[in-house]
Amino acid sequence: MKHKFHTSGDYIYYIEDNKAVLWDYTGDKKIVCLPMSVDGICVSKNIPDEAFANTPLESIDLGDSILYINPNAFKGCTNLKTIKFFGRAPEVAASA
């Protein structure tokens, strides 16, 4: 399946089931609060593989809409120390 990718701020996303899937984070911020929507479209319930891979993240805040973190979502984020969940903690793949 081919996706049409869009850019909004520091995020590259595609639309699936009327939700924005945050495919890639292109920013260089160390502290990030994941948006609830991009370009007026609600963010999907999962964080895809390698969405934040190899970024300088030290801390990320996830809203209660995130239900699943895919494998390797934070691969290579050697400085990541804190993931804050607002609402219930999502299911996390073993290698996320």
Under DSSP, is residue 23 helix (H, G, I), strand (E, B) or coil? Answer: strand
Q: Determine the Cα–Cα distance for residues 13 and 78; give it in Å rounded to an integer.
A: 24
- The model's pLDDT over 31-50, given as tens digits with 9 standing for 90+, comes to 999 999 999 999 998 999 99
State pTM to two decimals: 0.86
Contact predicate 36/64, CB 8 Å: no
Residue type, 10: D
- The model's pLDDT over 50-96, given as tens digits with 9 standing for 90+, comes to 999 999 999 999 988 888 999 899 999 999 999 998 877 788 877 66
Average pLDDT, the chain: 91
